Each structure stands twice: as structure tokens, then as C-alpha cells.
Structure 1
Amino acid sequence: MSILILVAASFLMYILVAWARDPLQDLYASNSPNRDALIQQRIEWLHLNDPLPVRWFNWFVGAAKCIVPLGTCDLGVTIQNQPVATLLGRAMGATLQLVTGATIFAIILGITVGIISALRQYSAVDYGFTFLSFFLYSLPSFVMGVLLKVFLAIGFNNWLRDPVLSWAVIIILSLALGLFWQAMVGGNRQRRLIVFAGSALVTGVILYVMSVTSWFLDPSLGPVIAPLLIALFAAGMALLIGGPKARFAWRTAGATAIVVIIAYFVLMPVMSSFDVWGVIAVFAGAVMIGMLMGWLFGEHDKSQAMRIGAFSGFLGAGVIVLDQFLRHWNDYVRNPKVGGRPIATVGSSTPNLNGDFWISGIDSFTHLLLPTISLMLISFAGYTRYARGGMLEVLNQDYIRTARAKGLPERTVVVRHAFRNSLIPITTIVAADVGGIIGGAIITESIFGFSGMGALFNKGLSAGDPNPVMAYFLVVAIFAITFNFLADLTYSALDPRVRAK
């Protein structure tokens, strides 16, 4: 059925695009002396003398070769006689780079916020997240893009000339984070006051130190903060997955953190010479070390311990890599091509920028930051609402009441029993949202001057050229069909009751 839908939809799309605009219209208005020759040449390139169904069939045969390796991939040419397959390869790489990051961050952040809202139902946190999610969901993407450009990019770049935080800013940010964390933690009044005072004080000290040391111009985690973060991530994985009383979990996380911290100091002098494969090796090595520690210290539950070790190692490797990127930040900002304004508002890269892997990585990050945030915030709102609704529905099930009646800790009830089943509706939304995010990237790419599939689609549609538009359609349709198929497989993994017998 998916294949039949793809065939029928491609036919309708091709016909509609071909009827929307005459691809020879710009030549008809031309005063060129060889206008007739140019018109005849474009007719031959696009096969405009053939009937529309025949043109679609020829396109479909060539597109089928791109999916099934039966020959050379042929998606036709543009009105400038450029191979669409070549243009699509470049555009798809840029768009997927943008969409992948936005989707991953939106899923992680949306599910986390939704579950917290469900667990703190009808609290100030729940009402705050609900308001924020509805506000972001109703905000048009072009408005989001303009706001990010004005306040985040231009404002931050101007502030970076003299990155000093005033006492008023430090106090306001400290109080705001103090109120946020006391609302998140909850509890009685004494507990809230302690959390508020502690988080506000710590935030104020950190912001003051960052301001007086010009950390924003020459940032790094350093030999104190980096090991501390590695240890905190490992402790968080042990607490979240294993629980506060699971000794095997804490032993696994502790051993993994110690090895990763040692690796941090060993790799620090040579890490700057690494390329992408070196970074991949760091992540792979950290994950394998964590799994080994889980197997050694796992006792009766080695599989869970190996998960704890793998996540702890992965996050620890992320700290190591992040520290290297921060160490190269000052070199990037001072590059003449950047000119002290690192947060880019247009394009996907800085033209003629020469640099190693770390400089190029920072450049990609600064150009992807704004469009990624724009796409992420819009998708995040939907994931938050569905995650909250799914968790509330699961928490009211009989087996959750039974688990609580048996005396299981609330962490075990939520993480092991409720969380997995609450992901089933999220799986459906993710599958449907992937194609939607790629489609929505058309507007976002236009705002930020990002040369991706959105630009390819816009140019083709404006010129009445169906081949680039159909290439865009083919990618979106394949992604939508593939992720819906993967969603069906994920259902059986999350809920054994839906598995085929």
C-alpha cells in the first residue's frame, strides 16, 4: 500500500507542478536574438513535447533506479540543464544535517519536559510548561526565525565585544534559576527555600566568575570542571537507571567515570590533532569501556549495568569532545573571516574559512544553531503535550497501582513500568513528524539562507520546473513511509502485546 500511495502521489504532484507555471515563460519575455533556439533547447532538455503522463512515467522510471539499484539514478535535469540527482545530493546533506539535530533535541527535550509535567500535574511547573508549549506551538516559524536573528544572534554578537555581566543581570538570572529549580524539585516550604537559596547562590557565583575571567571569549571546561561533569553524568545514570541503593550500578558508573577521567588527561595534549574519525574512536572506546565495566561489576543484572556503563561512557566522551571545541572557540572568533561575530544568521558555512576539524566543527555549529533551534522549539511543543498525555494515561492504569501497592519505589514505577509504555504514542508522532519537519524546513531554510532541499524546492516551483520539486517530494515521501514502517516495528519492541504471533 505504501508503494501504491507513493506512485499515485508522485503522479498528482508532477501534474500539479507542471500545470502551475510554464517553464518557458522567462524565455518568452526575453529579448535575446537567439530566443527561439533557447526555447527549443529547453523543450528538448525537459521533453516538453511529450504528453504529461509520458513525462511522468519517464521520470518515475529514472527515480526507481535511485531506489532499486537497476541502473544509473536519473532524476532529470533542471531548466539550466543541471543534473537534479547531483543537486539533490548536496541539498539533502545540508537539510538532513539540520533536521537530524533538531529532531533529536526536540524528542529528548520534549519527552523529558512532558514526563516532568505529568509527574507534577497541576503544579506551577506543569502550568508553566503547558503555557510555554502552547505558545511555541502557535508561533509561526518565520516569526521564530526573525526573533532568533534579532535577539540571539545580533544581540549576542554585539554583547561579545565586551562580554561583561552586570550585577543586575547576574542577580536576575540567579533568582530566575533559583525559582525554576525550587519549582522543579518541589517538596515542603523548607526544602523549596533550601533549593532556591542554593541554586541561586551557585548560579550567581558561576556567572560572576565567568564574567570577570572573560570566559565567554576564551572558554574551556578545564581540569576541574570536566572531571566533575564526567562524574556527575555517571552518577546521574546510576541514579536514574539503577537507583540509589543499587551497589552494582554505582560501582559500574564510578569505574567508568574513573577510566574516562584518566582518558581525559591522557588525551588532552593530543586531542587537538584529532579528526572526525578520532572523535568517533573516542566515543566508541568510551562506550566499550563502560560496557566492560558493566559486565565486570554487574553482578546479578549485567545487562542493566552495561547500559549504565555505556551511557556514562558516551556522556563522558561528550564532555571530552566539548572541552576541545571550547578550547578552539577563541581561535574561531578571532579569525578574520568571522570578524568577532560568531553566531551566523545566513548560510550553512563561512566562505573561504580555513581551519582544522575543530574550527570547521564550530563553524558548522554556529551556522546550524539558529535554524536548529527554530525547528526544535516548534516540534518540542508537540512532543511535550503527547508525552504528558501518554504518561498521565499510563499512570492511571491498574498495573501501575499494583506496582505501587507492592511497595516498589516511585522511581522504579516511573522508569521501569510507566516510561516505556508512555512512549507508544510518541513513536507515532515521531514517525509522522519526520516528513513534516523536512517539509517545514522550506520556510526555515529561506529565512536563514540555508542551501538545502527547501531552496531546491522553491527554485523548482518558482520556475515551473517539476524535476527539482519531484526530487524533494521523493525524499520526503520515502522518509515518511520508512519512519511509519519503523514505528510499527517499534510498537512491538515497546509493547509485546502487539507482536505478531
Structure 2
Amino acid sequence: MLAYALRRVLISVPILIASTFVVFVITALSKSPISELRAKNPPPPERTIELERQRLNLDQPLLERYWNWLLGLFRGDFGPSVQSRMDIGAEVVDRFLVTFRLIGLAMLVALILAIIVGVISAVRQYSGVDYTSTFLGFLFLSLPSFWFAILLKQAGISFNNAVGSQVLFTIGDSSVYVTGGTWAEFTDILGHMVLPTISLALLSFAAWSRFQRASMLEVLNSDYVRLARAKGLRRGTVMRKHALRTALIPLTTVTALDLGAIISGAVVTEKVFQWQGAGTFLLDAISNSDVYAVQAWLLVSATFIILFNLAADLLYGVLDPRIRYA
């Protein structure tokens, strides 16, 4: 298992390095950070524009800028922002901590629901439960993420008005002033996560449950499962040790590949619920033509996607020992 893990880690390193180059080149060629400065009326002095170009390292060739930016990453320096007082590295860390607690909880909820619903639908194929889960799956798949988030927000507001108190939080990732200590702060953050988590989790669950159902049906009809039943093993043992373990491999692949889509969905969800997370950070950086901030966001996202796919590769070896010995 150790050799298998080391091979996967070594493969991920050049992929990460290549992603830094692609991220830098695409964002550097997209728009000049001083375009907004030149568009001001009246225009600033040419000397001011030249000093800003030097501060943002725009006077350097592209490859030299990339090399200096890459060296700065090892020191925790993501480059200068168009907002001279903003530390991009510190801001990215704070914003992604907010976003990843939403993504983590949403993925956990979606995975649990997908496994339960997918297994039950496969075991009880063509039953009422199977048809109902299929209908709900396609329903959630067809819903645009921003529209579903808006519906949940309006439903939360209507519910609060009906009961006459603030039960469901619809704005922000936490309250400004919370009294009562650590436990009160924790419950406040958890309360603000309810609606955004439902919005993000149900859209992911819809696709994952269909994959889990198809994978479970394929495994249940395999020869080794029929052999296990013929040997007299208990139904629960066959389902848990022989069927479900193998059926989780395709779901692991889909979950790892969908992380990028979940992060992009979190951007929309945060905008609807007015969270000050990584999604808002990205939208603000794009509107301000803050190239280094956009590069930092894309780099952190790419790093987590690569790490998540690496974790999925390692999980393959846990679920199916034949993979790590191949």
C-alpha cells in the first residue's frame, strides 16, 4: 500500500506544477490589472501608471513574472493585489476556510444520501421507492443551482415570517454579535449553514445517487456475488462486504471529478446567501481586474482538486486490494 501511495503522490507533483503554469498564463493574458486605472476620467499621470505597472510586476516578461510568482508561493506570497493594503495569502486562507466548511458538510450529506438511496433503489429495483428516487434525482438534476438557492432562501424567509422568529438564517455565514461563548458561536455558524448546505448537497446527491444505483445493480448481478449467496452467506454480509464495497469505487471517482463543479456551485450559493467566502472573493477579484487574486483562487482550487483526486486514488486501494497490487 505504501508503494502504491508513493506512486500516486509522485504523479500528482508534475500535475500540480503544470496547473500553476496554466493558471498563471491564462489569467495573465486575460486582462491587464491597470486597465481600470487607464480608463479613469480624468486619466492619472503617466508616471502613476508606470509606478503601478512596476508594483504589479507588469514590466517583466511573462515567463520571468511566472518564475518570480512561483518562487513567491514557497514563501506564502501570492503576489501584489490591485488593492495595495490587501494581503492575498491571508485573505485567501480566511475565505476558503469559510467556503470549505460549506463544501465539506454538503459533500458529506450528499454522499450519505446518495449511498443510502442508491443502494435501496438497486435492491428494490422497479419498486415505488426506486421510481420515487429516480423522479427526485432527475428533478434536482434539472434545477439550476442559483434558482434552487433563491427558492430555498425565499422559503426560509417565509418560514421565519410564519413562526415570527429567526429560525432559519438566510444572510451571511455567521452573526455579527454572538453572546454565550464557544458553543453559541458554533450553533450560530451551524444555523447559517443549513440552507446553503441543503442547496449544494441536494444538487450533488441527485447525480451521485444515480451512479450508486447503477453501480450497485451491476455488482449485484456479478458472478462473485451470486457465488457468495450460493455459499450460504447472510444477505447483510454479502451486501456489505462483497457488493457495497466494490460498488463504491465508481462513486469515489465521480465524487473526486465533481469537486470542481461543487466549488463553482459554492460560488453561486455564497452569492445568493451573501457569504463572505471564497466565492465572493473570486467575484470581487474579477470585477476589480485583480489578476494575482484570481490566480491565487484558481491555484488553491486546483490544488484541492488534485489532492482530492489523490485521496480518491488511495481510497481505490482500500476498497479493492487488487488495485494496489496490480
What TM-score does the superposition give when structure 2 sets the normalisation length? 0.90
- The aligned amino acid for 2:254 is I
Gaps of 5+ in 1: 66-71, 162-339
Deviation at 1:32, TM superposition (A): 6.5
Q: 2:232 aligns to what SS in structure 1? A: coil
Identify if the C-alpha distance between structure 1 residues 344 and 42 changes in structure 2 by more than 3 Å, giving closer, same or farther: farther
Deviations 1:24-49 (A, max 9, x none): 23222334686556534432321111
Match of residue 159, structure 2, among 140, 156, 179: 156
Q: Does 1:116 align with 2:126?
A: no
Q: CA deviation at 1:99?
A: 0.6
1:379 to partner: Cα distance: 0.8
Q: Distance in 1 between matches of 2:147 and 2:76?
A: 39
In structure 2, what is the Cα distance between the partners aligned to 1:53 and 1:446?
A: 35
Map 1:428-443 → 2, pairs under 5 A: 428-443=253-268
Q: Residues of 1 paired with 2:273 and 2:100: CA distance? A: 15
Matched letter for residue 452 of structure 1 = G
* Distance in 2 of aligned mates of 1:83 and 1:32: 29
Task: Say whether residues 1:462 and 2:291 are aligned partners.
Answer: no
Alignment match of 2:98 (pick from 83, 89, 94)? 94
Structure 1 distance, partners of 2:152, 2:98, is 20
Shift of 1:119: 0.7
SS at 1:411's partner residue?
helix
1:51-450 paired onto structure 2 within 5 Å? 51-63=61-73, 65=74, 72-81=75-84, 82-151=86-155, 153-161=156-164, 340-450=165-275
Is the Cα contact below 8 Å between 1:386 and 1:426 reproduced in 2?
Answer: yes
CA offsets, 1:260-311, max 9 Å, x none? xxxxxxxxxxxxxxxxxxxxxxxxxxxxxxxxxxxxxxxxxxxxxxxxxxxx
Q: Which string of whole-angstrom CA distances, capped at 9 and with x for unpartnered residues, describes residues 158-210 of structure 1?
A: 1222xxxxxxxxxxxxxxxxxxxxxxxxxxxxxxxxxxxxxxxxxxxxxxxxx
Kept after mapping to 2: 8 A contact 1:20/1:464? no
Q: CA deviation at 1:88?
A: 0.7
Contact map agreement 1:394 1:400 (CA 8 A) in 2: yes
Of the three residues 448, 468, 474, the one matched with 2:299 is 474
The share of aligned pairs that are identical, in percent, is: 43
Q: Give the AA of the match of 1:104.
A: L
CA-to-partner distance for each residue in 1:133-167, whole Å, 9 max, x for gaps? 1111121110111110111x112101222xxxxxx
Amino acid at match of 2:127: S
Q: CA–CA distance in 2 between the matches of 1:407 and 1:500? A: 29
Paired with 2:115 and 2:273, the residues of 1 have a C-alpha distance of 27
Specify the code of the residue in structure 2 equivalent to 1:20: S
Decide whether aligned partners of structure 1 residues 23 and 364 sit closer, same or farther in structure 2, where only a CA change above 3 A counts. Answer: same
Shift in CA distance, 45/368, structure 1 to aligned 2, threshold 3 Å: farther
In structure 2, distance between residues paired with 1:137 and 1:80? 39
Query: Is this contact kept in 2: 1:23–1:464, CA < 8 A?
Result: yes
Measured in 1, the distance between the counterparts of 2:224 and 2:29 equals 57
Q: Is the 8 A contact 2:285 2:294 kept in 1?
A: yes
1:21 aligns with 2:31: yes
Rounded Cα–Cα distance in structure 1 between residues aligned with 2:151 and 2:41:
43
Q: Is the 8 A contact 1:435 1:479 kept in 2?
A: no
The residue type paired with residue 31 of structure 2 is R
TM superposition shift of 1:8: 3.1
Q: Which amino acid in the other structure matches residue 113 of structure 1?
A: V
**3-state DSSP class of the match of 2:130?**
helix
The answer (yes or no) to whether the contact 1:445–1:451 under 8 Å persists in 2 is yes
Preserved contact between residue 17 and residue 464 of structure 1 (Cα < 8 Å): no
Residues 23 and 299 of structure 2 are in contact (CA less than 8 Å); yes or no, is this contact kept in structure 1? no
Letter in 1 for 2:158: G
Contact 1:45 1:79 in 2 (8 A): no
Q: 2:38·2:44 contact (CA, 8 Å) conserved in 1?
A: no
The runs of 5 or more residues in structure 2 that have no matched partner are 1-10
> Would the alpha carbon gap of residues 489 and 37 (structure 1) be closer, same or farther in structure 2, given more than 3 Å must change?
same
CA distance in 2, matches of 1:38, 1:460: 22
Q: CA deviation at 1:412?
A: 2.2
Larger radius of gyration: 1
Hey, what's the Cα distance between the residues in 2 that align with 1:9 and 1:490?
23
1:5 aligns with 2:5: no
